[in-house]
Amino acid sequence: MNRRIALKHLAMVTGGIALIPSCDFSSDDIIAAYEKLQIKASEKELLGAISNTIIPAGEIKGALDIEVPDFILVMVNDCVKTEDQINFMAGLRAFPEFVKTQTGSSFSSLSDNGREEIIREGLIVETEESVNVKYFLQMAKRFTIQGYMASEYIQTEVIPYSLIPGEYNGAVMISDINKPQING
């Protein structure tokens, strides 16, 4: 990702100073790369855990393994309107409280099943106070899917992407298609 490479370069010329805020979670500083979001390291960590629940690791890698959270944040920072960025961040920040109210514990202490369950709930929640949570989860899910499927890993190692799609056939019998099942 260009932005991350640029930050590394910046870190090199400034003697590593720029790297500190994005890596040192304990200080929970704001991550400089996503200047419009003012997102803290801990918040990004939570987003990572959520994306990894949406697409977990298994036989093949999951969202966190291939840095999907960075993609989500690039897209929200760059390609989303200001008011939608505000709603996204409000939802991300309200999510811990939502989890606490619904389950009595924190997201990180839930089991894998528990995490899936609460995200599923949040995606369809209809209450007034959870409107941002729902908005955030829907956008996070959409960008998780996009970032995962349109990743270097998927497009080179799992389902190699061809720039040359082959000759057009305008009458393919669906029953004749026989693709090997990929087991996630």
Partner 1 sequence: MANLNIQNKQERTYEAIVVGSGISGAWAAKELCDLGVKTLMIERGRNVEHIKDYPTTNMLPYQFEHRNQLTEDIKKENPVISKCYAFREDAMHFFVKDKEHPYVQEKPFDWIRGYQVGGKSLLWARHVQRWSKYDFEGPARDGFAVEWPITYDEIAPWYSHVEKFAGVSGNKDGLAHLPDGEFLPAFGLNVVEKHLQESLKKNYGNDRHMIAARMAHINGSPEKFVEQGRTLCQSRNLCQRGCPFGGYFSSNSSTIPWAMKTGNLTLRPMSVVHSVIYDEEKGKATGVRIIDAETKEMEEFYADVIFLNAAALNTNAILLNSKSDRFPEGLGNDNGLLGKYIAFHNYRARVSAEYEGLSEFTTSGGRPVGGYFPRFRNVYKQETDFLRGYAAGFGANRGAYADTDAIGMELKNNLLNPDKYGPWRVGSHMMGETIPKETNYVRLDPELTDDFGIPQLSVSVDYDENDEKMTADYLEQMTEMFEKAGFTNIRTSDSKQAPGLDIHEMGGVRMGKDPKTSLLNKNHQLHAVPNVYVTDGACMTSTSTQNPSLTYMAFAARAAHHAVKESKG
Residues at the interface with partner 1 (CB under 8 A):
1-3, 53-56, 58, 60, 62, 74-75, 78-82, 112, 116, 119-120, 123, 141, 145-146, 148-152, 154-156, 158-159, 161, 163-175, 177, 179, 181-184
Which residues does 176 contact at the CB level (< 8 Å), separation at least 6? none
Q: Least separation, in Å, of the C-beta of 28 and partner 1?
A: 27
C-beta closer to partner 1: residue 20 or 149: 149
Q: Least separation, in Å, of the C-beta of 25 and partner 1?
A: 25
C-beta closer to partner 1: residue 26 or 162: 162
C-beta closer to partner 1: residue 10 or 154: 154
Distance from CA of residue 160 to its chain's centroid? 22
The helix/strand/coil state of 40 is strand
Q: Least separation, in Å, of the C-beta of 171 and partner 1?
A: 5
Q: Least separation, in Å, of the C-beta of 36 and partner 1?
A: 9
Residue 103 sits at φ, ψ, to 5 deg, of: -115, -15
Q: What is the DSSP string of 96-152?
A: HHHHHHHHSS-GGGS-HHHHHHHHHHHHH---GGGHHHHHHHHHHHHHHHHHHHTSH
Q: Are 25 and 45 in contact (CB under 8 A)?
A: yes
C-beta closer to partner 1: residue 126 or 167: 167
Residue 40 sits at φ, ψ, to 5 deg, of: -90, 160
C-beta closer to partner 1: residue 77 or 130: 77
Q: Least separation, in Å, of the C-beta of 104 and partner 1?
A: 21
